[in-house]
Amino acid sequence: MFKTGIPDIAPAKAKRGLLPEKARERLLNAAGEVFAERGYRRATVREICRRARVNVASVNYYFKGKEDLYTDVLEFAYRQARQKYPDSDAAGRGGSTESSLFGFVRLFLLRILDEGRPAWFGKLMAREIVEPTGALDKVIDRAIRPLHESLESLVREIVGGRPRDAEIRRHVFSILGQCLFYRHARPVIARLHPDVRFDAAEIERTARHIAAVALSGMKPRGTAR
Amino acid sequence: MFKTGIPDIAPAKAKRGLLPEKARERLLNAAGEVFAERGYRRATVREICRRARVNVASVNYYFKGKEDLYTDVLEFAYRQARQKYPDSDAAGRGGSTESSLFGFVRLFLLRILDEGRPAWFGKLMAREIVEPTGALDKVIDRAIRPLHESLESLVREIVGGRPRDAEIRRHVFSILGQCLFYRHARPVIARLHPDVRFDAAEIERTARHIAAVALSGMKPRGTAR
DNA sequence: CCCTGTCTTAAACATATGTTTGAAACAAGT
DNA sequence: ACTTGTTTCAAACATATGTTTAAGACAGGG
């Protein structure tokens, strides 16, 4: 009984950035996989530990428990996604606001649809949005609200004129909705159109389509309202 | 030991339609509530039975088990939603195809956003789409595919000309995505815009917006590609 | 070589939860 | 009243699963 059982703070956290981090890192990766596949509830710490080739007690040693492991995984996945597809690729760069919109959509799609190595980010977000776990508030503050606000100001620019808040909001939702559908409804899409593959080229075409639809909806025309 | 333990078929099923159906009906309703609130996994048969004021063993008596109860609830909820908002309100009625599109969007939104008494339908569908449970295939065949196909033919009419399948598909997804966002992202929306209430009037305005955006995106214009 | 702090491990623990059981209550027909 | 088929019930069962425990392995300094 050299300790109360749980270290107040994950011990390895201090050494962050060093190479020999094995167990904790493996746990994060394995947990990301399993949480993404099964969701928070259906994921078992035993399977996570099995995949990480680590003892079951480790998750309580390095993290406080399953819940804290999950929030750490969310944070981890968010950083990975941003690192793989940095903001600089598209955000408020030079060029027309119209092309900025396309860039935004493209970047967003890439991040949420990526199926590469750590593909968890999109899946974790999709689940968290539809079925919050208590970590949602943190996710909103860290990831969703900034994204939402930057898109909102973009829309405000494009619509121009005297912007009514409700209309701006609806346009923002239309854009986000079109994008997120490809993530949320993936199981359904796969069954309705088994042939379509969402590789880089298809994502590119999809981004073009969404940006075009959104733009034509926002450009002053007699149709709307 | 008058029986093998489980009746081959729920006994009351034969009597369907008669008034005295109490326990089984109560179970379906309670199960709908709980499944909608917590999702399949987190819902416990004990809580369902508590709300239905029924013994725990009942769910295995009237249904084969939790799983079959769930699929029966899905079917039940689907019928309720169709009954409350019948197709005839909007589908392929007279009037321009443009107004048909508005009707479609409106009806779809009403069905998935309804928060009235048995509000489960939308919630159950949202969860099933994002995180299938094994009942998804049945749901697709019974509810999703017909809806998808009717929307597809509507889009095909509106776009006109020589329709490329991929483009039709993207327009269909854009419309569905815009609608489903309001269901899927509801927890997030509630936090980003705590003031907005999705009553009948707001749904009406939202439907108008979505139909307008979709239409302007489909109408032949130089923008799209 | 021992001491000390860090990590790892197998086993146990506690609890939640779907399911089964065997008997009793009930209803209906005869 | 007896019989028979159906429904309800409390208790038990079996299992999955998050967590804790207590002992050992390991490394670095003294």
- Pick from B98, B108, B130 the residue to mutate for testing the A interface (most A CBs within 10 Å): B130
Which chain B residues 20-59 have CB under 7 A to strand C? 42-46, 56-57, 59
Interatomic distance B56 CA / D12 C1' (Å)? 13
Mean pLDDT of B183-205: 96
> What is the distance between the alpha carbons of residues A102 and A199, in angstroms, rounded to a whole number?
18
> What is the distance between the alpha carbons of residues B81 and B112, in angstroms, rounded to a whole number?
8
| pLDDT given for residue A115 in this prediction | 87
A43-57, B17-31, B152-166: segment of lowest average pLDDT: B17-31
A106-115, B1-10, B134-143, B176-185: segment of lowest average pLDDT: B1-10
Q: Cβ of B188 and A127 within 8 Å? A: no
Question: Chain B contacts of A171, Cβ < 8 Å?
Answer: 213
Question: Chain B contacts of A214, Cβ < 8 Å?
Answer: 213, 217
Question: Chain B contacts of A173, Cβ < 8 Å?
Answer: 178, 181-182, 185, 189
| Percent over 90 (pLDDT), chain B | 74
Q: What is the pLDDT of residues B115-135, one digit of tens each?
A: 877 789 999 999 999 999 999
Sign of CA dihedral A89, B173, B177, B72: negative
Interatomic distance A2 CA / D29 C1' (Å)? 20
Q: Cβ of A188 and B144 within 8 Å? A: yes
Interatomic distance B123 CA / D11 C1' (Å)? 35
- The DSSP secondary structure of A94-137, one letter per residue, reads SS-HHHHHHHHHHHHHHHHH--SSSTHHHHHHHHHHHS--S-HH
The model's confidence at residue B87, banded by pLDDT at 50, 70 and 90, is confident
Min distance A174 CA to chain B CA atoms (Å) = 5
Q: Both tokens of residue B105?
A: 């969007």
| pLDDT given for residue B90 in this prediction | 58
Residue B12: CB less than 7 A from any atom in strand D:
yes
- CB A211 within 8 Å of CB A102: yes
| pLDDT given for residue B161 in this prediction | 83
Low-confidence ranges of chain A (pLDDT < 70): 1-21, 89-94, 220-225
Residue A22: CB less than 7 A from any atom in strand C:
yes
The model's confidence at residue B88, banded by pLDDT at 50, 70 and 90, is confident
Of A166, A184, A216, the CB nearest to B129: A184
Min distance B224 CA to chain A CA atoms (Å) = 5
- Which candidate, B185, B190, B154, places its Cα nearest to that of B172? B154
- CB A168 within 8 Å of CB B209: no
DSSP-assigned letter for residue B194: T
CB of A155 less than 8 A from some CB of B: no
Q: Cβ of A130 and B132 within 8 Å? A: no
Of B42, B187, B189, the CB nearest to A41: B42
Q: Which nucleotide is nearest to B44 (CA to C1')?
A: C17
Measure Cα distances from B12 to A170, B30, B54 in Å. Answer: 48, 18, 16
The model's confidence at residue B14, banded by pLDDT at 50, 70 and 90, is very low
Q: What is the pLDDT of residues A158-203, one digit of tens each?
A: 998 888 999 999 999 999 999 999 999 999 999 999 999 999 999 9
Residue A5: CB less than 7 A from any atom in strand D:
yes
Contacts of A133 (CB under 8 A, 6+ apart): A40, A70
- Pick from B184, B202, B203, B218 the residue to mutate for testing the A interface (most A CBs within 10 Å): B184
Protein-contacted bases of chain C (C-beta within 7 A) = 5-12, 16-22
Sign of CA dihedral B36, B38, B39, B43: negative
Contacts of A17 (CB under 8 A, 6+ apart): none
Please, what are the domains in chain A? 21-78 (1.10.10.60), 86-218 (1.10.357.10)
Question: Chain B contacts of A196, Cβ < 8 Å?
Answer: 169
| pLDDT given for residue B169 in this prediction | 98
Contacts of B69 (CB under 8 A, 6+ apart): B27, B31, B45, B48, B59, B63
Protein-contacted bases of chain D (C-beta within 7 A) = 5-12, 16-22
Residue A1: CB less than 7 A from any atom in strand D:
yes
